[in-house]
A and B are shown apart, each in its own frame.
Chain A
C-alpha cells in the first residue's frame, strides 16, 4: 500500500514540476526565437551569397541535455504495453532541439546566415535494461558566415 502512495506522490510531483518547467521553457524558446529570427539556419551547402563578400566563416555549435520527469517515464512505460505514439516524450525532444539550435545561433553573433546545419540526438544516463532514467542530448552545429567589409 505504501508503495502505491509513494508512486502516486512521485507521479504528481513529476507532473506538476514538469509542466511548470516545460511551460517556462517554451515561453523562453518562443521569445528567443522571435529575437533571433533574422539569423537563418539552413541545412543546404551552397553559398546563398557571393563568396567575395564573406568576411569570416566559422563552425558554431549549440547543445543541451534535458532530463525526463517521472510522470513522462510512467506514461512511456504504460505506452510500451499498448504501442503507439509516446506523446509524453514529444515535447521533450522538441524543446531539446529548439534549444540546441537557439544556442548555436547565439554562439554565432554577428553572422548573416548559418549553413549546413546538422542535428544530432542521443540519450544520456543510465541505460540499464529497465531504467527509463535517460536524458536527451541534442546538438546542433553549422557554419556561420559573417559578411561585410574586409
Chain B
C-alpha cells in the first residue's frame, strides 16, 4: 500500500467557540440558580420559623453553650443586669423566653441575642454605659429580637446555604466559598430591617419600664462619633448607619408621645469593672 502524506485542514478535536462566552453563560446560570434558591429559602424560612417550638429552640441553645458557658453570669454586675431583665420580663416586655445574661470580656461594644433566650453582653459595651436607662434600652432591644425570633431567621438561612453549597461544590472549593461569602454579605440587609423593628420594641419597653425614653439614643450617639461609613456604604455593615437609627428612634418617640425625663444612674460597680469581683 502506498502512503499519501496529507494533513487535515480543520481541527475537529477542539471547539471553536469563545471560552469567555462560555464562562459568562455558565456563571449567569449559577447565579440564577443561587438567586432562585435564596428567594425560595426566604419564603421557606419565614414560614418555618414561627413553627419552631421553644423546646426545639432550647435544644439549639445547647449548641452555643460553649460560648455562653465562658461568660460570667454570677458576678454582682451580672446579677444586677439579670434582675433588671427579670423586672422587664414581668411587666413590660413579655416574651416567651427565660432570659439569661452572660457577660464576656471583649473590647467591642456589642450585644448578641442567641437561641434559647441567652443574651451575650460584651464588657466593652458595659464600659460605655452612662445610665441605667441606656443599658435598659440595649437590653430591651435584644428582647425585641427575641420577640421577632430574628436570631433564628438569619441563622437558619445561612446554614441552609452553606449546606447546599457544600453539597454542590464540595466543602473546600473556591466557587463554593465565594457563594457562601456573598450570601453572608446579603444577609446583613436582612438584619437591617430586623434591627429597626427591635429598636421600636426597645423604645416602647423603655417607656413602659421608666415612664420616659431618655437615654435610648445615648449609646448610638456615642457610637456615631466613633463610627465612619464604610467605603462601601452601609450595605456591608450589620447595623444600619447609626445616625439614621437615632433619627428613627426620636421620630418614633415623638409620634407616640413618649417624654424625656430624668435618667437613672448606674450603680458604681459598673464603672469599676477591674476592681469589683
Contacts and interface: CB of A to CB of B under 8 A. Distances in A.
Interface of A: 1, 3-4, 7, 11, 15, 33-34, 37-38, 40, 48, 71-72, 74-75, 77-79, 81-82, 85, 87-88, 90-91, 93-94, 113, 129-130
5 contacts: A3-B178, A71-B19, A81-B168, A90-B13, A130-B171
Contact of A130 (B19, B30, B172): B172
B174 A7 contact: yes
Contacts of B29: 78, 81-82
Interface string B159-171: 0000000001111
A75 B168 contact: no
Contact of A75 (B14, B23, B173): B23
B15 A85 contact: yes
Contacts, number: 73
A98 B268 CA distance: 83
Contact of A87 (B22, B27, B170, B174): B22
Interface residues of B, number: 32
A132 B11 CA distance: 26
A91 B14 contact: yes
A113 B17 CA distance: 36
Interface stretch (B1-9, B121-129, B204-212): B1-9
Contacts of B174: 7, 74, 77
Interface of B: 1, 3, 5-7, 11, 13-15, 17, 19-20, 22-23, 26-27, 29-30, 168-175, 177-178, 181-182, 185, 232
A77 B175 contact: yes
Contacts of B181: 3-4
Contacts of A72: 19
B26 A7 contact: no
Contacts of B6: 37
Given A7-B174, A48-B1, A78 B17 contact: no
Contacts of B30: 78, 81
A8 B168 CA distance: 21
A34 B7 contact: yes
